Amino acid sequence: MGSVQDFTWTGTAYVQGRASAKLLASNLELSFWGGVDPETSEVIDRHHPLSGQKLQNTVLAIPGGRGSCTGSGVMLELLLNGKAPEAIIFERREDILTLGVMIAEEVFQQSIPVLVLNKDDFRQLLQLDGQTVYVDDGHVSTTPMLSKPENGLILETTPALEGIKLSPLDQELLRGDHGEASRVAIRIVLRMAHLLNTTRLMSITQVHIDACVYTGPATLLLAERLRDWGGKVRVPTTLNSISVDQKRWRALGVDTEFGEAADKLGQAYVDMGAKATYTCAPYQLDSAPKVGEQVAWAESNAVVYANSVLGARTMKYPDFLDISIALTGRAPKGGPHIDANRLASVQVNVVGVKDSSGLDDSFPPLLGYYVGMLSTSRIPVVTGLEGYGLSTDDLKAFGAAFATVSSAPMFHIVGVTPEATTLEAVTASDINTFQVQPGDLGSCWDKLNSAPPTQPLDLLSLGNPHFSLTEFRNLAHLVQGRQKAPSIAVVFNLSGPSAQLY
């Protein structure tokens, strides 16, 4: 290539449109939930290279998203409050943030271009950080291609959905025979199927909704609009934790405006027929799916647990795709729903761990975080833990930490998780192998515990994900006969059903 002004790349546009702005680029994935302030667009993940930067008035280039399924909700908030980037460029197909843009386009007629470049082109683009770039559908250039329209103007609102085989029910939903909410919902499901390059939808048995987490006014506006359009879930549906303790948020001193909005959001989904379970650990409920069951779960830690530990089958569904599937009972037939997409392509061999001797409760989550950093978007298989005796709570902690840094929907642990009876049973032909021993996890510990030792502790929050009854019993044993320091507030998080049992 020639000078900077001559650079042009062609990729795949998953949301069409035109934009131009300075490039804000990073070679590290970014979780929008907890990583981006939806009111200001500032990157608030203090471990990320873009920390402190604002996404507004930029063309954002990152390899992909990661972490929470609620990233789509943050994306929607940014779009509706005018703080979104002008366009997003990914290195690979990305579901969560792209879905947030699709929702804004389908329901609120606001959008930005979203496109994917191949790996080599994306790496070249990263070198232009800070330069003005121009996006026109699937093209990126350092010189203008066409005049840029007003921010948020939609150029094409009907993406090509040809090639997807529709069942009689799909056709009824698409015609609006079952109401406006399900008509919009099936369009969203079909657009995601197009993104996944799958030609069929499938029926699922249950849904777990994460979109009930309040990220701002847009999330409430969307839920109430679907409800007011007559939306009703077609399959059993559970709800994730909402943003407040629904029964006690006033007594806890939560801001009234925020508390009322969060409460209304949860109620909107209950009005559509969802069960008020309000837990981020639906695998602790009696309704937890069985091995091989096809479900549609959001909430990143729950998705990873369902696929990996329960052996159920679900994609890592973004917020709002979850309610779209619940309203239709239909999901794209792709991702981990299919055998071939559940195979590991990276192996992490843990050495020097014959059993749990000398290791405490921090080992499973630290290892999960480490494995997630190694695997990024790839499904890993872990070997060498056959003698550790991992409990379901250990696997919960491993999976939750893994899901914060990896976009992969699952993991395998040979001799522990149901599909990993042997290494060969869960591996693809081309696999990378890494070695790790407990001492290697020190860097993760230092990264996650960066506060100086002299800094006073104000709050201890336990139960993220929600505490199990076993964890409560263990905690009660540990603190028996001891007294909490009066200067420290302690919060335990658990689901309503678990609280009733304890």
Q: Which residues are catalytic?
A: 68
Distance CA 74, CA 88 (A): 14
**Tokens 């061999």 label which residue?**
349
What are the φ and ψ backbone dihedral angles of 23, each rounded to 5 degrees?
-80, 130
**Tokens 């840094």 label which residue?**
405
Query: Which residues lie closer than 8 Å to 158 by C-beta, 6 or more apart?
Result: none
Report which of 39, 476, 437, 22 is spatially closest to residue 216, judged by C-alpha positions. 39
Q: Which two tokens stand for residue 287?
A: 């309704």
Q: Which two tokens stand for residue 146?
A: 């066409």
Torsion sign (Cα): 138, 141, 147, 150: positive
Contact 25, 58 (CB under 8 A): no
Buried b (16+ CB within 10 A) or exposed e, 347-385: bbbbeebeebeeeeeebbbbbbbbbbbbbbbebbbbbbb
Q: Where are the alpha helices (DSSP H) in 254-335?
A: 256-271, 300-305, 321-328
Give the count of beta carbons closer than 10 Å to the beta carbon of residue 140: 27
Query: Radius of gyration over alpha carbons of the chain, in Å?
Result: 23
What are the φ and ψ backbone dihedral angles of 90, each rounded to 5 degrees?
-110, 160
Distance CA 86, CA 72 (A): 16
Strands (E), 207-319: 207-209, 237-239, 296-297
For residue 395, the one-letter residue type is L
Query: Which residues lie closer than 8 Å to 337 by C-beta, 6 or more apart?
Result: 202, 294, 313, 314, 315, 331
Report which of 432, 407, 411 is spatially closest to residue 345, judged by C-alpha positions. 432
What are the φ and ψ backbone dihedral angles of 478, each rounded to 5 degrees?
-70, -35
Distance CA 114, CA 177 (A): 31
Q: DSSP characters for 153-173?
A: --S--S---TTPBPPHHHHHH
Distance CA 185, CA 180 (A): 8
For residue 364, the one-letter residue type is P
